[in-house]
Structure 1
Amino acid sequence: MAPYLKLDAWWSKTGAGIQTKRSSQAAVAELESRYGIVIPADFRDYLCQGAPTAENWDAEDGNWWPLERIKSIPDEYEHPVSDPVAKGAAKHLIFLDYSIWCWAWAISCAHDETYGKVAVVGGAPDGYVADTFAEFVDRYTTDWISVSQVPGNTKPTGRFRAWLRNL
């Protein structure tokens, strides 16, 4: 199943209420032109077929960004980024953040061995958590913690919204 369809089904199943829209190839090409990149096919398909229309919250406190908000790491994140992401940070697009920017995920559009990989950014350390956007979506929608930390690193895994609901 295409990543945008899997996300749409998961958002519906979990009651997230996230509305999506189709975006034109021209709008995606403008993003590519702005950063001098070529967006990986599975992520391009997601942007063209079913990215969110606005800021949102999913069932795991993720905010999937609409096309208009997607930016490179340096354009969005003012802090240093660690290796292995640092060398190509300008060619990575942030598309999702966790719980009002505790950390975020970015896809590599760098013309190197990282092309298409998804990295977690804003953690300690930054690093790659999925080889493709499709793999990222598969894992995020079934076990989001598995893509929320670089292997071997431990991040807080609290569910703030669930905690609030139980007060």
Structure 2
Amino acid sequence: MFGWLKRTRRHSLSRRAQKPPIDPALFEQEGTILYEALSIYWASSNPDTYTRHNAGVEIEALEERYSLQLPDDFRAYLVCAAPSVTFMDDIGTQWWALSEIKSISDECPNGPPGRINPEIEQEIDAYLIFSDYLIWCYAWAICCSNGPNRGKVALIGGLPDAFIADSFRDFLRLALADDLAIHQGPSK
């Protein structure tokens, strides 16, 4: 396990200086083209473990189950790129299948590990966990409330929990670059 982790971290550190796996211009475009490119990238780099899920009515069921409406960019990701089964990318991020996505309260009934951010705790049921790192060392959740944090992505299980991206699109940009901000929150 630790040998794999060292190789992966070494590989991801060397990747930081290289060109991102998806054209950076796609992050500036509206619509689903970014998420379609992500699906193609994952399918070509992980053909044995990644298959795209056709979401359909499951997205509406997720929204209904939690009485919320997903942010548009997260919805586009679920429609165009979410995996059919949870899979781990080459950086160690597990991208959850749609059927695995849960609120923080459902995923962590006794509260998330670490110190929860009071701003997150106020709307804890409006945050959906969609991904974790190395089999739940910590996770990432998106705010689906209609409040000021709508669409923001938070690091859950950090010390303390922190907002790390203003949108799912911003989170994806950081995740594909394996930016340290997604692992440790903002610099102090």
TM-score by length of 1: 0.83
Q: Residue type matched to 1:27 in 2?
A: E
Look at both structures and tell me which one has the larger radius of gyration over its CA atoms.
2
Identical aligned pairs, as a percentage?
A: 36
Q: Residue type matched to 2:171 in 1?
A: F
Aligned counterparts, 1:42-121, within 5 A: 42-77=73-108, 78-80=110-112, 81-121=116-156
- Once the 2 structures are TM-superposed, how far is the Cα of residue 13 of structure 1 from its aligned partner? 6.0
Which residue is equivalent to 1:133? 168
Alignment partner of 1:27 is 2:58 = yes
Contact 2:43–2:51, Cα closer than 8 Å, also in 1: no
Question: What is the number of residues matched between the two proteins?
Answer: 152
Q: Residue type matched to 2:128 in 1?
A: L
1:83–1:150 distance in 2 versus 1, CA, 3 Å: farther
CA distance in 2, matches of 1:29, 1:38: 9
Contact 1:107–1:117, Cα closer than 8 Å, also in 2: yes
Q: Residue type matched to 2:124 in 1?
A: A
CA distance in 2, matches of 1:150, 1:88: 19
Contact 1:21–1:51, Cα closer than 8 Å, also in 2: yes
Q: Deviations over 1:58-114 (max 9, x none)?
A: 111111001101000010023253322111111000000100100000000011000
Secondary structure of 1:119's counterpart equals strand
Secondary structure of 1:106's counterpart equals strand
Contact 1:82–1:126, Cα closer than 8 Å, also in 2: yes
CA distance in 2, matches of 1:13, 1:75: 33
Q: What are the ranges of 5 or more consecutive residues in structure 1 without an aligned counterpart?
A: 154-167
- Once the 2 structures are TM-superposed, how far is the Cα of residue 12 of structure 1 from its aligned partner? 4.5
